[in-house]
Chains A and B, each alone.
Chain A
């Protein structure tokens, strides 16, 4: 649904897929492998304002809690309830059914300043 080649990436391993002024966001395959079995996702509420680079969600595994940093700024317009009921979706399809939420962007140019898929892959080593 949100193929890597068409996404931009934050260095903190979140991806962004832009359609118009709406950004769908999630975590990269690299990130889900690092975190390993995800137990719960604490998503922001619809209507919440998020700021690029600031934590706005939490990804829990059995032994850890990782911050999700907003890759772009804006207002949360929709959240993916499916991953709250079935967090394993994020491990299984990080770029598909495991998307996190959608942001109505306030500064669309922010997405352009993120890493391309090629640059992100290179940075992961």
Chain B
């Protein structure tokens, strides 16, 4: 087993080259009189091309990945990344398009982006989308800025608060604060649903926006969502839906029907674009017709059969990043949706929900669900350290790695202690799920009989448990600027 690689810089040999380039017609200094040039080269590795290929190939072999391992990560929707999406998006015609090219020269890309927007509108029932935000959190901030602009346009200066449930993903309150809002938190009831009475009490003329994840981060549908929307609107506020869990609703239900005004979707979750080790993703934001004028620009419009980038809009909030968005990611999501018809979309959600309930039922005797009810596409279970010789969720997660499974999301949502949030997605077979169940059951047994094995896991990976305390107290984030003597 590959137990680890030296750093690329540690393999460096002075004078070693991979790529060489034609000589320029004149030395650069002659074109740049008086300009301060580097007096020393940057400390980058000097390697041959084979050195580089071998180095990064060997590094890749140290990773788990979806292509090799089951990832039951709640809220992440780690479904198979179809390779057809890669082939679709990588084509030279798309990849070589410069963002400043005239619209007439990029009709293919614009058609696909326009097509994606239309499909997202169909899925959600909303009137319009921006594809500009680069990630979910970026989409949340964009949605919040739209809400702020909406209230400003109404000349309502009292709207200073955003309401989130205690089960919200951290990006929700963080985005709210960045948008200049105070955050008010509302509790979730023991039955796993938002406390609607508490929400009503929290609403008032100061409420700009209520942000909900639907289904929520316990994997449960807010059954009172229509009531909630009515209450929010009566208070003069808008309803935002964090679409991270949209895989449970795909082809089954449209958020606009619940009363949602703004939502973001995560293309790297429901729409199967690859995670890439942490990105790039995309977080398109959809809105009702009332809010469409506030969307960031540019957007793709269709006029007389031709596509164009609309760059002007008097009430647009402006732009939230350069250019049109993570276009290559959007192309992959478009391709993914074109592979499905309405029935196939429904089946995605149905099978995701089927798989999650299967795991819930097979594990609930050992890892009790936070809420003992059918879930949608994910379930939240709990480790009980008191019954397991002090073995915690963290230890269970690390021991799962030894069994060849990536761990579920742990310690989230915050209102569940020792939480294990499990989302299998629809692309896994029951055989894989059975193997996962067997592993968790074995770990539970081991926790009762040989807890130290679990507490010191993982044992079978390239590294043992890592010293995070040292990493935080004595941060080492880059190799030194000078080679060691």
- Contact surface of A with B, Cβ cutoff 8 Å: 37, 39-40, 60, 62-63, 87-88
Contacts and interface: CB of A to CB of B under 8 A. Distances in A.
Interface string B446-485: 0000000000000000000000110011000000000000
Q: Which of A62, A63, A87, A88 has the most CB of B within 10 A?
A: A62
A39 B471 CA distance: 9
How many chain B residues sit at the interface, stated as a range, is under 10
The 5 closest A-B pairs by CB, nearest first: A39-B472, A62-B468, A37-B469, A62-B472, A39-B473
Instruction: Classify the secondary structure of B's interface with A.
Output: helix
Contacts of B472: 39-40, 60, 62
13 contacts: A37-B469, A39-B469, A39-B472, A39-B473, A40-B472, A40-B473, A60-B472, A62-B468, A62-B469, A62-B472, A63-B411, A87-B473, A88-B473
Given A39-B469, A62-B469, A63-B411, 10 more contacts: A37-B469, A39-B472, A39-B473, A40-B472, A40-B473, A60-B472, A62-B468, A62-B472, A87-B473, A88-B473
A39 to B, nearest CB: 4
Contacts of B473: 39-40, 87-88
A62 B469 CA distance: 6
Contacts of A37: 469
Nearest to A62: B468
Nearest to A37: B469
A63 B170 CA distance: 13
A75 to B, nearest CB: 25
Nearest to B469: A37
Contacts of B411: 63
Interface string B399-422: 000000000000100000000000
A88 B470 CA distance: 11
A67 to B, nearest CB: 14
Nearest to B468: A62
A40 B469 CA distance: 10
Contacts of A62: 468-469, 472
Nearest to A36: B469
Nearest to A40: B472
A109 to B, nearest CB: 30
A62 B394 CA distance: 14
Q: Which of A37, A60, A87, A88 has the most CB of B within 10 A?
A: A37
Contacts of A88: 473
A63 B412 CA distance: 12
A60 B471 CA distance: 13
Nearest to B472: A39
B395 to A, nearest CB: 14
A46 to B, nearest CB: 24
A70 B411 CA distance: 29
